[in-house]
Homo-oligomer: A and B are copies of this chain.
Amino acid sequence: MAKRGKVNQRQRILEEAAKLFKEKGFAGTSMRDLGGEVGMEAASMYNHIKSKDEILESICFYVSDTYIAQLAEVKQTEASYTEKVESLLRRHVHLMLEDGAAVSVANNDWKYLTGDKLTAFKEARKSYEQGFATLLEQGIAAGELHPVNVSVALFTILSAVRWVELWYYPGRGISAEELEQNIITILLNGLAK
């Protein structure tokens, strides 16, 4: 029998919640729905989590923390700016493939955060965007990248990856590596010959 510690059960609740929130939205998912997936009465889950809001917070900050850590990793690398952008892009695709439900929730349901948590999440996101934008600016200044509007480039890149989670599953007729390479080719080299 697998051990069912408090931590494990909490983790299970968070994982099932991410799947349900992605599918039906935070507001569209009831604690009774979630209980059904976890195999527990709604009331029983309150032994492992504080509130429905706290579940959302855990998922959103897990994602924003990961993004920020990845940016820091890439920044301290010794590589050209083009390579740094490419590397960050690959990490985006990877996280999407590994933890797509959580990324989806952080992208779409962060707006249901409240108070301090909402403020903190917006700040984390802004700080990540600033860091990424700086990378693009440096790449342009160094003559490595086309002199496009940095904000437009930033959001185009960030959005371009978001569909992956809705579309990709192994056995799609394309491997994860090919998927990644295709996205990078389109964004770095463009569609037109």
Most chain-B Cβ atoms within 10 A of its Cβ — which of A156, A157, A189? A156
Contacts of A82 in B (CB 8 A): 192
Instruction: Report yes or no: A174 in contact with B152, Cβ–Cβ below 8 A.
Output: yes
Taking chain A's interface residues, is the majority helix, strand, or loop, or is none over half, making it mixed?
helix
In the complex, the chain B residue whose C-beta lies closest to that of A147 is B193
The chain B residue with its CB closest to the CB of A150 is B182
Indicate whether A192 sits within 8 Å of B159 (C-beta atoms), given known contacts A24-B111, A167-B151, A174-B152.
no
Name the residue in A108, A158, A182 with the highest tally of chain B Cβ atoms < 10 Å from its Cβ: A182
Using A155-B163, A159-B160 as known contacts, say yes or no to A145 and B193 having CB atoms under 8 A apart.
yes
Tell me whether B111 and A193 are in contact (CB under 8 A). Answer: no
Establish whether residues B193 and A144, one from each chain, have CB atoms under 8 Å apart when the complex forms: yes
Q: Total interface residues on A, using CB and 8 Å?
A: 46
A112 within 8 A of B: yes
Whole-angstrom distance between the Cβ of A113 and the nearest chain B Cβ? 12
Give the contacting residue for A191; candidates B158, B161, B187; CB below 8 A. B187
Please tell me if the beta carbons of A146 and B191 are within 8 angstroms of each other in the complex: yes
Q: A186 interface residue, CB < 8 Å from B?
A: yes
Provide the residues of chain B in CB contact with A102, threshold 8 Å: none
User: In the complex, are the beta carbons of A153 and B191 less than 8 A apart?
Assistant: yes
* Residues of A that sit less than 8 Å from B by CB: 23-28, 82, 85, 108-109, 111-112, 143-146, 148-149, 151-153, 155-164, 167, 174, 178-179, 182-183, 185-193
8 inter-chain pairs at a CB distance below 8 angstroms, sorted by A residue, are A23-B111, A27-B27, A27-B28, A28-B112, A148-B185, A152-B183, A153-B186, A156-B163
